[in-house]
Amino acid sequence: MDIGTVGVVGLGNMGLGMAATLARAGFTVLGHDIDAARRGAAEAAGIGFRESLMDVLQGADALVFSLPLARDVEAVVTASGGLLERADRKVVVIDTSTSDPGTSRRLAARLASAGHGLLDAPVSGGPIGAAEGTLTMMIGGSDADLALAAPVIAALSAKAVHVGPSGAGNIAKLVNNLLVAAHLITTGEAMRLSEAAGLAAEDALRVVNAATGRSAISEVMMPRWILPGSFDSGFSAGLMRKDVRLALELAAATGSELPLSAHVARLWAETRDRIADGDDFTRMADYRAQQG
């Protein structure tokens, strides 16, 4: 089935960039956000802003969700008079939110029973990747739903990895972000040690990034947002704390013992007094900050 109109629900840092990318790719884009003040930015990017969520759920050929929490995703999917009551065509929801696998599987089953599809498709690449259509997407869901949504996914991503059935995308994202949460701490501590011993962080990173200690933190985040002190990646510490919590809940549900990850989670929780939930998550690697 052809997709001409895409609805984007959630026009925050990520959702607005994805909606603008889809508009540039030639789709008619309908956008909705609970904050009506997003209308101006949306319309400036060629997005048809709709104050009514139902207008988007009922009028789109495919949907992209970019929402903070699993309960927000569930509320939109199950909204009265919304998607579950549509029978005019099959609609695939591409949920780019980081959610828990259980919720994704349950909602996928409900949508399938109504003739629709759900791909849990969390993303990596931040607001820049969203705005440029260069995201990495990790996708859980059926082959058939993936094929239907392929034109939308192609417009949004530089790399899309279908990792398995419903829930698999969110498992992959939680595993990835658990590593990022740890790498921010360890890289920041390593640079603090280097500076204390008399070697500038910039010089230490030249070695780390040519050796086995490198990561996206050392190669991208340190030079782009941490060394300059801008801390403006567009992803909040509160969202990372949420992802770490979801990863540890998944560990508990699967009986997995993760002692180092549990300590990482404690450190993220204990730093809330100096790195607020609204602060950029890259502040966790600020080697210049006093350890507390």
The Cα 83–Cα 157 span in angstroms is 25
Q: What is the pLDDT of residues 16-53, one digit of tens each?
A: 999 999 999 999 999 999 999 999 999 999 999 999 99
Select from 134, 165, 196 the last residue of a domain.
165
Catalytic: 159? no
Same domain? 181 vs 159:
no
Residue 234: CA count within 13 A, CB half-sphere: 15
290 located within any domain: no
Residue 291 lies in a domain: no
28 and 124 inside one domain: yes
What was the pLDDT predicted at 286? Answer: 95
pLDDT above 60 (res 65): yes
pLDDT digits (tens, 9 = 90+) for 139-192: 999 999 999 999 999 999 999 999 999 999 999 999 999 999 999 999 999 999
Instruction: Select which of 90, 159, 173, 242 is catalytic.
Output: 173
pLDDT at 57: 97
Verify that 184 and 104 share a domain, yes or no. Answer: no
Task: Categorize the per-residue pLDDT at 1 as very low, low, confident or very high, splitting at 50, 70 and 90.
Answer: confident
129 lies in some domain: yes
* Res. 54: pLDDT tops 80: yes
CA 209, CA 217: separation in Å to the nearest integer? 10
- 92 and 229 part of one domain: no
Among 165, 198, 215, the domain boundary falls at: 165
Range of the domain at 277: 171-285
* pLDDT value of residue 291: 43
- Do 156 and 196 belong to one domain? no
pLDDT at 292: 42
The answer to whether residues 126 and 204 belong to one domain is no
Query: What CATH code is carried by the domain that includes residue 226?
Result: 1.10.1040.10
Do 17 and 112 lie in one domain? The reply is yes
Query: Domain ends where: 137, 165, 193?
Result: 165
Tell which residue, 123, 115, 110, 241, has the closest CA to residue 166: 110
Helix or strand run (H / E) with residue 63: strand 62-65
User: pLDDT tens digits, residue range 96-152?
Assistant: 999 999 999 999 999 999 999 999 999 999 999 999 999 999 999 999 999 999 999
Do 176 and 157 lie in one domain? The reply is: no
Q: What is the pTM of this model?
A: 0.92
Residue 58 vs residues 11, 28, 30, 68: alpha-carbon distances, Å: 18, 14, 11, 22
Residue 89: give its domain's CATH number. 3.40.50.720
Rg (CA), the chain: 20
Q: Are both 214 and 144 inside the same structural domain? A: no
Q: Is residue 263 located within the same domain as residue 157? A: no
95 and 138 share one domain: yes
Determine the pLDDT at residue 290: 56
Total domain count, the chain: 2
Pair (36, 75) in one structural domain: yes
Q: Residue 289's pLDDT band (boundaries 50, 70, 90)? A: confident
Examine residue 292 and state whether it is found in any structural domain, yes or no. no
